[in-house]
Structure 1
């Protein structure tokens, strides 16, 4: 990056026309995602009295929400945010409301609760990937786009920390289903304000963009590096929550101390994300990405040798320092790899990778705990991120060589010309 032009600040983002309004609306809608999982779990337990049913319902909801995310993003790319998001979000909010009404009182049928949860998960609107697509349209400067993605990631982290606290406040005076209704209201109101923003109107559907750009499409290979790293980060992070809880129990600490350790993880991620966005890096994103994943892996390896909760907290905070930079850089590379009109899908694949990794990491470490020492469990979780970093090195040189002079690995040179009849969103 050139050092001759003034370095843009985070404040410069909000001087862009319509950026403040659009981002605030998207964050309002995305706060719903910080509430919904805990709210639905507590509601299911309240209605059925069964933790097993609650776990099954949440697994089904999560699977439908995570694995269908690229397909929903393809609808937004194809038809535009306004035409796709309004019906999608209305259906999602309506299904959440139906879920809450069905499970409001004890004795609700588990089958009906599960069916509504799956249906709602199928319609979950991808507000995060769509907002990042809007950022890529609003922000012409590559350095400022890096700051936009970093700020987006940090605030998303705060939303997921504050969401459960809001659920806790609601259940003090109302049944847990009221928190599900609140989640539905937030996502519907936030999405409506988001799509009515003039900034969102400027994001063209894929067919229009393909017509202007010479009928181009993109291949899955361009996403290999960010998706591999996002998957590795998700797997490692999915293991950490359970490992911290097991560590606290093994060392005879109270269960509430776990919250402080996980808060240190979030704080480290927020600081790392803000610093990553503020620095004008000389290394390309494709070169930085394996370093961030490797840093996360090494910090988790260090956690394997923690003798007590204080040292574990420091190691986990250091691990968090690399989380937001790794994910922000993954989104940057995915955005650059996709031609205009396909960027929401690209971001959704990264999103899917990290969320699926989180679920897989939690399930995998759950099988290991009790059979392998906690030190080895932390080491294995760190090794996963290190492996992802090494694997991503194979993709990085190809992306850089194809992108030519672009500062972002995997830029538009990975596109190729195709016949008009071949113009469809890529199905990776």
Structure 2
């Protein structure tokens, strides 16, 4: 744990990380609050589901575009206005959903709720990718950066557990709209705190050109899209596995006549992921990141396929915990590779593509398994869920390898810290995972 303490002792790190976590807590509270609030205001589960789907779609699919704005204009000029608009839209949603349908009125228009939800999702600030870029600025040493990414991923995992619990407390004493409003406050305060961090960003002089800092040095762009292929595909594969596993856990526990046990199975998955993430960050790996990612994906696929042999919910919980050991390491390694492969002026965007792949894969995995459950044996469905991870492992050796030499990479990140960012600068950045951020 001393290695993680060293990460947080880095100047400005604890302040920036704390602000980012505060803002990202809203990503754990807003989705559930929004579904409950829209359902109460419209009186319809269909409207609530549609609004949430629109919110998620615009949030996930537009994530790289929002990250590109951070790369180009920097967090002060792009992130703060984005978060302010997002918070305003959430506040409007909280206002229009404050009164449940059937209590003195016909409820709120479903079309209005859908439009507001879509607009809010489109403005979700990319706090995760921005924070990972800041880690890259703070920690030129790749081993320390790996620990920072692992710490970041585990903390985010805990936020997604704590968020729904916080919503549960809020709705016990207030309307669900209060949870939406609380999310608006959290994201605005956290984003402002992160954007005001004194961590410097490199100055980018042109959208497609090299990076020029105040010392006058230039650097050519990185490996570009080809270098991002492996981490993005791996992230999508992990997302497909997780999305399918969630639904399979529900189907398995119902088949065992223990539907309430699904929460414990998913909790075991999260606990395993947290343990795996902390262990991954604490180890000083000698193997190349791309090779390591392939091995981790293979281990995840095998453990998921084996989970289908579980005879009862206790065995499934244990199998889920084992599978979880490889989830956070896979995502952390994908973010590291994306950061190394990205051009200097596109590091936030690179991380956002990884994050988008995870979330899109999760949605696709849920949809796919939803079509197969009930038509195929559950054991076979577990094998199908494992296939994306196994394919990612099999395809990894053919993926072109980008610069991964420690001296070059460390030099790049050390240079990144040299330039002081100004309000008029056009910066560059790195990575994340979140519901959409």
After TM superposition, the score normalised by the length of structure 2 is: 0.88
Q: C-alpha deviations, 1:108-146, integer Å up to 9, x for none?
A: 110000000000011000000000000000012111111
Q: CA deviation at 1:207?
A: 2.6
Distance change >3 Å, CA 30–CA 424, structure 1 → 2: closer
Q: Counterpart in 2 of 1:289?
A: 293
Distance change >3 Å, CA 405–CA 186, structure 1 → 2: closer
The one of 4, 10, 22 equivalent to 1:10 is 4
Q: C-alpha deviations, 1:65-106, integer Å up to 9, x for none?
A: 001000000000000111001100000010011111111212
Alpha-carbon distance in structure 2 between the residues aligned to 1:285 and 1:406? 15
Q: CA deviation at 1:393?
A: 2.5
Q: Counterpart in 2 of 1:64?
A: 58
The one of 330, 334, 353 equivalent to 2:334 is 330
Q: Counterpart in 2 of 1:100?
A: 94
Q: Counterpart in 1 of 2:225?
A: 220
**Are the equivalent residues in 2 in contact too, given 1:77–1:205 (CA < 8 A)?**
no
Q: CA deviation at 1:206?
A: 3.1
SS in 1 for 2:401: helix
**Are the equivalent residues in 1 in contact too, given 2:139–2:145 (CA < 8 A)?**
yes
Alpha-carbon distance in structure 1 between the residues aligned to 2:333 and 2:142? 12
Q: C-alpha deviations, 1:302-327, integer Å up to 9, x for none?
A: 11111110111111111110000000
**Are the equivalent residues in 2 in contact too, given 1:333–1:408 (CA < 8 A)?**
no
**Are the equivalent residues in 1 in contact too, given 2:253–2:261 (CA < 8 A)?**
yes
SS in 1 for 2:276: helix
Q: CA deviation at 1:350?
A: 0.3
Q: C-alpha deviations, 1:149-199, integer Å up to 9, x for none?
A: 000000000000110000000000111111000011000000011111112
SS in 1 for 2:344: coil
Q: Counterpart in 1 of 2:202?
A: 204
RCO higher in 1 or 2 (8 Å CA, sep ≥ 6)? 2
Alpha-carbon distance in structure 2 between the residues aligned to 1:153 and 1:405? 23
Q: Counterpart in 1 of 2:241?
A: 236
Q: CA deviation at 1:203?
A: 1.6
Q: CA deviation at 1:215?
A: 6.2
- 5+ unaligned residues in a row in structure 2: which ranges? 102-106, 414-425, 430-437
The one of 264, 267, 288 equivalent to 2:271 is 267
The one of 246, 257, 276 equivalent to 2:251 is 246
Tell me whether 374-383 or 231-240 shows the greater mean CA deviation: 374-383
Alpha-carbon distance in structure 1 between the residues aligned to 2:428 and 2:144? 28
Cα RMSD after superposing both structures? 2.1
**Are the equivalent residues in 2 in contact too, given 1:217–1:424 (CA < 8 A)?**
no
Q: C-alpha deviations, 1:5-25, integer Å up to 9, x for none?
A: xx9711111221111111000
Q: Counterpart in 1 of 2:420?
A: none
Alpha-carbon distance in structure 2 between the residues aligned to 1:23 and 1:293? 28
**Are the equivalent residues in 2 in contact too, given 1:99–1:117 (CA < 8 A)?**
yes
Q: Counterpart in 2 of 1:185?
A: 185
Q: Counterpart in 1 of 2:44?
A: 50
SS in 2 for 1:73: helix
Q: Counterpart in 1 of 2:401?
A: 399
Q: Counterpart in 1 of 2:310?
A: 306
SS in 2 for 1:207: coil
SS in 2 for 1:305: coil
Distance change >3 Å, CA 351–CA 382, structure 1 → 2: same
**Are the equivalent residues in 2 in contact too, given 1:79–1:205 (CA < 8 A)?**
no
Q: CA deviation at 1:405?
A: 6.0
- 5+ unaligned residues in a row in structure 1: which ranges? 1-6, 413-422
Q: CA deviation at 1:335?
A: 0.6
**Are the equivalent residues in 1 in contact too, given 2:203–2:427 (CA < 8 A)?**
no
Alpha-carbon distance in structure 1 between the residues aligned to 2:219 and 2:295? 35
**Are the equivalent residues in 2 in contact too, given 1:229–1:385 (CA < 8 A)?**
yes
**Are the equivalent residues in 1 in contact too, given 2:26–2:183 (CA < 8 A)?**
yes
Corresponding pairs, count? 403
1:125 aligns with 2:125: yes
**Are the equivalent residues in 2 in contact too, given 1:224–1:392 (CA < 8 A)?**
no
**Are the equivalent residues in 2 in contact too, given 1:207–1:341 (CA < 8 A)?**
no
**Are the equivalent residues in 1 in contact too, given 2:203–2:428 (CA < 8 A)?**
no
**Are the equivalent residues in 2 in contact too, given 1:206–1:342 (CA < 8 A)?**
no
Distance change >3 Å, CA 216–CA 407, structure 1 → 2: closer
Distance change >3 Å, CA 425–CA 139, structure 1 → 2: closer
Distance change >3 Å, CA 424–CA 86, structure 1 → 2: closer
1:321 aligns with 2:309: no
